[in-house]
Every structure is written in structure tokens, then in C-alpha cells.
Amino acid sequence: MPTTALVAPSPSVARVPGWPWSHLLRMRNDPLALMAEGARLGTDVVRLSFGTIPAYVLYAPEVVHRALVPGDTVWKGTRGSKLLRRILGPGLLTTEALVWRDRRRRAQGRFRHEALLAMPGIVQRHADRMIADWRGADPAGPAEVDAMAGFSRLALSVVCEVLFGIDPGEDAARVHAALDEVLAGFLWMMTFPIEGVDQWPLPASRRHRAAVEELRAVVQRLIARRREAGPLEGDLLADWIRAADEGALSQEDLSAEVVTMLLAGHETTANAMSFTLALLATHPEEQDKVRAGLDAGDNGPLERAFNEGLRLYPPAWVLARAASGEVDLGPTVAPKGSFLFIPIAAIHRDPRWWTDPDTFRPDRHLALSPAARAAFFPFGTGPRRCIGEHFARTEARIALAGVLRAFEVTTERVPDAMPTVTLRPRGPVRLTLRPRPAPAA
Ligand code: HEM
């Protein structure tokens, strides 16, 4: 019997070819291609070379479940998570264990359906403003717009009004500029061979730190504005400020919670709305279906189009964890300290779970197979899953419906996706809008 059979790697854990460290480099240059290449190996778990750190990419929903759902064998201890924590501070997204549990409990109630009953009206008002803006000087003629810019402004205003009880005013533009700077450098900093390059005296690191400082300064102004706005009740920011005044949260914690919610709560949703609208703009027959549904009072086609946008362009394109003990993944046991990556974008297009995976076909969500249902998790899974799913879905439904009722939307192509912390459109999302006649009264 050939002895190699005894030492051959388990067929259920393949390796992406490459020399030590090469995958870190590829994570910087084209991480979506690296994750897709791993998926093509067809195994449930794939091993990467990150120098001395064992790294695994989990492709099968069952394996993802084993890693994320118990929640006590993994933590957010990868280089990317640590960099994110230096940017956001110790907030809901980046804290662990008991501290995280306390933060989640404090915020949870404000995201329940009952707590968000006023939200549709607020989103509608901001969407109407955006649509009026988009109509521009000639309300009857076609308009060229950057959908991402419009949706980003809308989403930031909605987070500020619904969760913070204030209007971001002129600070909105500052948040967007600082966020662009932070996200542009993120992948480069995360994959730099030596950790902590964001703290070095390099021009790019200085710009990054200045952007982080700008975000913190904006947050201090938002907190001050909320204090002036009236009694500290009725919204999440008011809850946090009261907790800080009572000594239950430090000033650093308060600032971290606000920065986290400001960023996590608007950029993801703006990306998802932009990609969905661009997909509808390149698929007129699907756009007509969505509009026919809206005219008949049926949001189903729109919701399916949004799900399909989230499948093809999931804003949280990869989740990352470090193993705090051994993690039994099924096909293999990841040792303590290993990095685990869950490439949502690749799983959402894996032909093992999806037919015609690259095709925009909203109606597939009418009857997903059990395998596809398990392989669709744009909002994550396990205890750290997104707190804002209902918030995001409510916002997208109302804003997209408003735009599609007002305009026929066309564009030549869906923009390329740029993976940073989130998957965002690379550059503006240019769309052509042709006004539709107002519905008969
Ligand atoms: C389409 C929009 C959105 C997508 C695709 C999305 C996706 C996700 C995902 C996948 C996670 C889990 C991250 C992980 O496991 O490492 C997450 C966490 C989180 N999201 Fe969202 N999100 C969206 C919108 C929102 C909104 C609107 C808010 C708030 C207003 C929000 C706030 C958060 C927070 C605070 C966490 C951390 C939760 C925790 O660790 O307890 N997200 N999101």
C-alpha cells in the first residue's frame, strides 16, 4: 500500500495553492477572487497560507453553523477585527463576552418591530426629499444621478433621526468623507505583513488616523446636539447618554457605540439599496415586475429583488473569527488561535447550493431549496448576527419603492464591487431616471 495514503490531506480540506504569506497578499489585491478560487475546490473547508497562522475558509453552511452558532469557541480576534476595533472603539460590533452581552441587551429593545413603528414615516419623508432632489431642475426630463450618494445621505439621516433623535446636518458630509478614507485604506492595512501599520508615521496612516479622529469629533457634536434637543428619552442615543451619566458606560464606550451604529447602520444598507437598484436598472423585465407588484399593493416582488441584491452583493461579504479554543468544524478541527473566514459572497454564489448562481433572478426566493436557504445569510448567523435586519429591510423597502414609483431606471452595467470592511460599489452608481406619470388620484 502506498504510504502517501496515510499522510495525504483529508479530501474534505483542500488547500489553495501558494507559498507561505501569498494568500495574505492576495487578500489585499483581490480577496473576492481568492475566496471564489477556494470555493471552486469544492470542499467544505479550505486551508490558506497566512504565514504561521493556520487559516481556514468555511464554505458549507453546516460548517459555518458549527463555528458561529455556539458562539463560545470563536472571537473577533483576527487582524481585521482588531483594526476595526481601533477605528470604532469598544462598541457593540467589536466587544466580546459579558461586555458584548450587556451592550446587546441595552440596544436590542430599540430594534424590535414595536419600537420601529414610526420608522416608515421617517424613511418616506427622507425618500421624498431625495426623489425631489433627483428630479432636479427639469422635473419632466431624464436625470443622471449617483444612487450611492443619495442612498448614503438618506441612510445616515434615517439612523440619526430614528436611533439618535437628531438631524446630522452639515456633519453628514464629514462622516461620508471620513468613512471613504477609512475604508479605502482598510484592506491594505489589514494585510500589511506587520500588524499595526495604522499607528505608524506614514502619510497613509496619518490620513487614516485623521479620518478616525474626525469621526470621533463628529460623534461628540452629535452627543452634544442630542443633549440640547430635549429630554433624554425615546431613542437609543438618549438611553446611552443616560447610562453614561449614571456611570454604567464610560465616555469611550459611549463614543464607540455611537460611531459603531452610525457606520454599521447606514453604509451597509446604502450599498445594498444601490446594488439592488443597479440590478433592476439592468433588468427592465424584473423592474416592471417589481413596479406591477407595488401598483397592486404587493411588496413581495420588491422584497425578493432586494434579497437577490443581498445574495449577489452581500454588504458583509466576509465574516472573520479567531478560534479561542479548538473548533470542531466537522471535516477538521481548527486549533486554538487559527483564523476562520466565512466568505458570504462566495457562498451566496456557490453552484453547489444555487442554480445559475451569477444570474439576477429574484423569483428564486419564492421557493428556495433547503440547501439554498441555509446558504443565504446576508445578516450573519449565531449570537452576533445583525441587530439591524428589520431596520435595514424597512428602510430599503420604502426607499426603493419610492424611487421605482417615481422613475423608470436604466444604466449600462452594474458597477464593480470593491471589498473593504463592506462590499461597496467602486465609484459612483450612475443611473438614468425617467420620470413616470403621477398615478391617477
Ligand atoms: C443590508 C444591511 C445590513 C447588512 C447586510 C448587515 C449585515 C450584518 C452582519 C452580517 C453582521 C454580523 C457580523 C459578524 O458576525 O461578524 C452584522 C452585525 C451588526 N449590524 Fe448589521 N447589517 C445591515 C444593516 C444594519 C443596520 C441598519 C444596523 C443598525 C441600524 C446594523 C447594525 C449592526 C450591528 C450593531 C452589528 C453587531 C451586532 C453584534 O455583534 O451584536 N446593521 N450586520
Q: Is the pLDDT of residue 1 over 80?
A: no
Residue 237, in any domain of the structure = yes
Q: Whose CA is nearest to atom 20 of ligand 1?
A: 386
Query: For 165-282, where are the alpha helices, taking DSSP H only?
Result: 171-190, 203-228, 236-245, 251-264, 267-281
pLDDT tens-digit profile of 379-421? 999 999 999 999 999 999 999 999 999 999 999 999 999 999 9
Cα separation, 142 vs 134, in Å, equals 10
Contact of 37 with 29, CB cutoff 8 Å: no
Instruction: Give me the percent of the chain exceeding a pLDDT of 90.
Output: 85
Q: pTM value?
A: 0.95
Mean pLDDT of the chain: 93
270 lines ligand 1 (CB under 6 A): no
Query: Which CATH number belongs to the domain containing residue 21 in this structure?
Result: 1.10.630.10
How would residue 11 be classed by pLDDT, with cut points 50, 70 and 90? Answer: low
Q: Tell me, in angstroms, the distance from the centre of ligand 1 to residue 68's CA.
A: 15
pLDDT tens-digit profile of 237-279? 999 999 999 999 999 999 999 999 999 999 999 999 999 999 9
Q: Is the pLDDT of residue 7 over 70?
A: no
* Structural element, H or E, at residue 319: strand 319-323
Residue 441, in any domain of the structure = no
**Which pLDDT score is estimated for 138?**
83
pLDDT tens-digit profile of 200-214? 999 999 999 999 999
Q: How many helices (H) and strands (E) does the chain have?
A: 18, 13
Domain housing 130: 4-435
pLDDT tens-digit profile of 137-158? 788 889 999 999 999 999 999 9
Residue 353, in any domain of the structure = yes
- Relative orientation angle of helices 267-281 and 389-406, to the nearest 10 degrees: 40
**How many separate domains does the chain show?**
1
Q: Tell me, in angstroms, the distance from the centre of ligand 1 to residue 40's CA.
A: 28
What are the angstrom distances between the C-alpha of 135 and each of 121, 154, 279, 295?
A: 21, 16, 21, 21
**Which pLDDT score is estimated for 5?**
35
Give the atom of ligand 1 at the shortest distance from the alpha carbon of 107.
35
Q: Is the pLDDT of residue 440 over 70?
A: no
Cα separation, 429 vs 415, in Å, equals 6
Cα separation, 131 vs 151, in Å, equals 10
**Which pLDDT score is estimated for 6?**
40
Pocket test for ligand 1, best of 103, 157, 386, 398 (most atoms within 8 A of CB): 386
Residue 9, in any domain of the structure = yes
- Relative orientation angle of helices 97-108 and 251-264, to the nearest 10 degrees: 60
387 lines ligand 1 (CB under 6 A): yes
* Structural element, H or E, at residue 105: helix 97-108
